[in-house]
Amino acid sequence: MKKIINIGTRGSKLALWQAYYVEELLVKAGYETNIVIIETKGDKILDRSLAKVGSKGIFTEELETQLLEGKIDIAVHSAKDMPSDLGEHFKIIAFTEREQVNDVIISDNKALFEKDKIVLGTSSVRRTALLKKYMPEAEVVNMRGNLQTRIRKMQEGQCDALVLAFAGVHRMGYDNMIVKHLPADVYIPPVGQGSVAIEAAVSIDSEVEKSIVDAINHTESALCLLAERAFLHKLQGGCSIPAFASASISENNSITIKGGVISLDGKELIASEQTGKTTEAETLGKVLAEEILNSGGREILASIKAQ
């Protein structure tokens, strides 16, 4: 008899969408599943920006506790929320097929860009910095909470529009609110955007792990994520630093990773890219990070940490 796989998840609508999606893949492969909803620190503290709360494990810590205690077999996360270093007790065992990676602006106001002054809401330091660089005429305000909470805050007048990942907007069925797609080669997304990561304790039974990987892991997406996460790990960054990286695989089986860092005020941006064989995915991420650090990225990150 096959083991019942207990899936840990946060309770927001988007997190549950991800958990049900993972459940569907497992059920299709013949497994019984059980979804366990767990509240995290990131769900409770909504009055401060992510950078001020401290991003390490803000959306993962409570799920990891239950992984260690064996109450859940896997934890399902947005890959972009995962710290670059999971420590010695945890590992990511699979990544789902990636959604379109770009950011979008959503609003109820279809004539948004005819306004003299636009107020944009986001909780991301990367988006804030990139908007300051490429849309300096807009005012950017901190907007925390799940997708539905942010939309409510926008509709109450706290901002004119929200800047979000296309993946979340699309998965929640809000495509009709998109007023602008931000090009991913300019507004380079954060590491992992658009994919769902499956985390497990390193002590997970190897047969259970293999069956989960076989049912869920998307090879191309996983290679891109390995390159991006190697880049972020070398920078020693989490989601509270304005770093970005996006990898893609071409038809000739080579992988290209574009990435960099930007100062909080948007004035200094350092970006570059590396291309190589897919077998070198992690190495390319590290080489790119080293290049960014040596081109002034080290100074940008040092000044951000000092602030």
Pick from 101, 63, 129, 106: which is nearest to 307 by CA? Answer: 129
pLDDT in tens, 84-130: 889 999 999 999 999 999 999 999 998 998 988 999 999 899 999 99
**CATH architecture of the domain with range 219-307:** 2-Layer Sandwich (3.30)
Q: 1-98+195-217 and 103-181 share one CATH topology?
A: yes
At 53, is the pLDDT very low, low, confident or very high (cuts 50, 70, 90)? very low
pLDDT at 225 over 50: yes
pLDDT at 242 over 60: yes
Class of domain 1-98+195-217: alpha beta
pLDDT at 241 over 90: no
**Average pLDDT of the residues in 183-193:** 95
Round to whole Å and give the CA distance between 33 and 11: 17
Query: So where are the chain's domains?
Result: 1-98+195-217, 103-181, 219-307
Class of domain 103-181: alpha beta
Pick from 103, 152, 100, 98: which is nearest to 124 by CA? Answer: 103
- The residues annotated as belonging to the active site are 81
**Average pLDDT of the residues in 33-54:** 65
List strand residue ranges (DSSP E) for 131-220, in order. 139-142, 161-165, 178-181, 196-201
Interior angle at CA 160, CA 173 and CA 139, nearest 5: 125
Model-wide pTM > 0.85: yes
Q: Please state, for a pLDDT cut of 90, what percent of the chain lies above it.
A: 81
